[in-house]
Amino acid sequence: MVTSDKIPALKPRSLQLALEPVDNARLANLCGALDANLRQIEAAYDISIARRGERLTLRGEAAQLQIARTALQEFYKRAGQHLTVEDIQLGLIELSKHHDDNLTAPVLLTRRTDLHGRTPRQVEYLRAIQSHDITFGLGPAGTGKTYLAVACAVDAFEREQVQRIILTRPAVEAGERLGFLPGDLAQKVDPYLRPLYDALHDLMGFDRVAKMFERQCIEIAPLAFMRGRTLSNAFIILDEAQNTTPEQMKMFLTRIGIGSRAVVTGDLTQIDLPRGHKSGLLDAVRTLSDVRGLAYTRFTKEDVVRHPLVARIVEAYERATANAGGGNEEV
């Protein structure tokens, strides 16, 4: 008798699904161009989908097959109109969450009328920003920390709760030495602040943002330029705060004046400071944990609102860090 210590791979199971009522236009909207929408669902649930007309054959783990079937049936109901890949990605996130009916997402005045919290923590984050003068948003990339903070800033400006929006971040290179950059000051810092520009343009429109810059209602600057200022009646966002030093973080938090609101965002697993330098965000969260009036929202991989693979990538890195028994400290 031959024995082996190898564990045989589990044979994937299959599940047959017939979409009803039969509607070719609805089926085309569900599948997307070249079945791109189905590929998104496959990636999200780690299954395979074969299609013959309105009949689908799903192959994968039994638990995932049941979840995928429910998702496909829900998307088929929504397929009365065109479904983009983005619609599928966002829909997959919404379907994976158990929303609390009592936790109503705030309505924000931006150009994006469909903007709202897609996960319970995102809704919690929006509510925290609106009810606290200083809010910390912590978590991995893709969870909407910066974008939702900018949306709240635009909302506060449109409601005349603040007179200007100030966006800042430390100018720290992500593991690369870019050398001396050409141009004037604005051109030198522009690459570091581009994500903030992108969010503003999406939420307000390019022309409106340009006019607000001319009127100095919007200011984007590197963190080093905050020293010595008192920022009153403003909505201030410090992005990529994990790359601040404790001294910079203290300097920033003490700039906040009367009538202002501040949001600090960062990912403690992506600290780009030189080796041996302590993160100002990590230090602030620990130092200020007992200070009343501050709000903290800690996002996880479950809140990632990007391609479904991003959440699995984040999970893989978290698992690798845990197995290594170290890495950047979390709080």
CATH classification at residue 163: 3.40.50.300
Locate all alpha helices (DSSP H) within the chain, ordered by sequence.
24-31, 36-45, 62-78, 85-95, 120-131, 145-158, 185-204, 206-214, 246-253, 280-287, 308-324
What is the pLDDT, as a whole number, of residue 10?
46
Q: Let me know if residue 114 belongs to a domain.
A: no
pLDDT score at 7 = 37
Query: What do you get for the CA distance between the two ends of the chain, in Å?
Result: 53
**248 and 314 inside one domain:** yes
Q: Is residue 241 part of a domain?
A: yes
Q: Which residue's entry shows tokens 């001396």?
A: 180
Q: What is the pLDDT of residue 245?
A: 93
**Residues 155 and 286 both lie in one domain:** yes
Answer yes or no: is 188 within a domain.
yes
Residues 31 and 148 in one domain: no
Could you give the strand order of the β-sheet that contains 55-60, starting from the edge strand earlier in sequence?
A: 13-18, 55-60, 48-52
Task: Return the pLDDT at 31.
Answer: 93
The structure's pTM equals: 0.67
Give ∠ CA 212-154-244 in degrees, rounded to 5: 95
Bridge partners (DSSP) listed for residue 218: 165
CA distances from 286 to 51, 134, 242, 274, 295 (A): 53, 15, 13, 21, 13
89 neighbors 41 (Cβ within 8 angstroms): no
CA 250 to chain centre: 25
CA atoms within 13 A on the CB side of 43: 19
Residues 126 and 65 in one domain: no
63 and 181 inside one domain: no
Token digits for 312? 């699995």
95, 130, 152 — which closes off a domain? Answer: 95
Number of domains the chain is built from: 2
Round the CA-based radius of gyration of the chain to a whole number and report it.
23
Is 239 part of any domain? yes
Q: Is residue 113 part of a domain?
A: no
Tell me, what amino acid is at 210? A
Structural domain of 236: 120-324
- Residue 101 CA: distances (Å) to CA of 75, 104, 120, 128, 292: 21, 7, 10, 17, 28
Model pLDDT, residue 63: 83
Residue 258, in any domain of the structure: yes
Give the strand pairing for 13-18 and 164-169: unpaired
Buried b (16+ CB within 10 A) or exposed e, 127-142: bbbbebebbbbbbbeb
Residues of the chain with pLDDT under 50: 1-10, 98-102, 174-178
The Cα 297–Cα 2 span in angstroms is 55
Q: What are phi and psi of 278, to 5 degrees?
A: -85, 140
Examine residue 25 and state whether it is found in any structural domain, yes or no.
Answer: yes
CB of 125 closer than 8 Å to CB of 134: no
Which residues are bridge partners to 220 per DSSP?
167
Do 202 and 319 lie in one domain? The reply is: yes
Q: Specify the pLDDT at position 207.
A: 94
Q: In 3D, which of 169, 298, 135, 166 has the Cα closest to residue 244?
A: 169
- pLDDT at res. 171: 73
Quote the DSSP letter at residue 177.
-
Shared domain for 131 and 53, answered yes or no, is no
39 and 137 belong to one structural domain: no
The DSSP-derived string for 219-273 is EEEEGGGGTT--B-SEEEEE-SGGGS-HHHHHHHHTTB-TT-EEEEEE-TT---S
